[in-house]
């Protein structure tokens, strides 16, 4: 994983973009990018203390946002060009949303909705670690 860009967003977050590309044959590669940022979990994002506690028990003090995109069987000589296209598409489609002042709250609330909709997929951190 190679860090290729860090973007300071208008809402104070830092978005890191990584290159996860790798060669899969002598003349072809799989081009993959990962965009990642973290938000600090805040009580003010939630309507009540129980919702905040539920998210904090599962995720801790920080919640990560990750976006991955990949393309396979790219000629090695086009690898950088395709990587740049993936980054440009991500920036054009998602950067305004992620840099919105409401993004951290929306991310926290989406995690809460997922916990409530799919409680079986989350393992809780023991209470003493909160």
Residue 107 in tokens:
């991310």
Query: H/E element holding 96?
Result: helix 79-98
Predicted structure pTM score:
0.85
For the chain, list residues with pLDDT below 50: 130
Q: Are the C-beta atoms of 34 and 20 separated by less than 8 Å?
A: yes
Q: For position 106, what pLDDT does the model report?
A: 97
End-to-end Cα spacing for the chain: 30
- Strand-pair partners of 62: 40
Contacts 24+ apart (CB under 8 A), 113-117: 115/54, 115/55, 115/58
Q: For position 59, what pLDDT does the model report?
A: 92
Residue 91 in tokens:
């920036």
Q: For position 30, what pLDDT does the model report?
A: 97
Q: For position 125, what pLDDT does the model report?
A: 54
- Strand-pair partners of 67: 35
Q: Are the C-beta atoms of 128 and 59 separated by less than 8 Å?
A: no
| C-alpha–C-alpha distance, residues 14 and 65, integer Å | 11
Q: For position 1, what pLDDT does the model report?
A: 87
């Amino acid at each position: 994983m190679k860090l290729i860009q860090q973007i300071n967003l208008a809402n104070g977050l830092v978005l890191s973009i990584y290159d996860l590309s790798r060669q899969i044959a002598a003349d072809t590669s799989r081009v993959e990018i990962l965009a990642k940022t973290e938000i600090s979990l805040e009580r003010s994002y939630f309507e009540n203390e129980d919702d905040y506690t539920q998210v904090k028990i599962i995720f801790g003090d920080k919640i990560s946002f990750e976006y991955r995109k990949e393309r396979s069987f790219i000629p090695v000589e086009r690898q950088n060009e395709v990587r740049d296209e993936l980054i440009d598409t991500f920036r054009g489609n998602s950067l305004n949303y992620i840099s919105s002042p409401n993004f951290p709250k929306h991310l926290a609330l989406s995690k809460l909705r997922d916990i409530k909709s799919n409680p079986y997929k989350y393992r809780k951190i023991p209470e003493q670690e909160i």
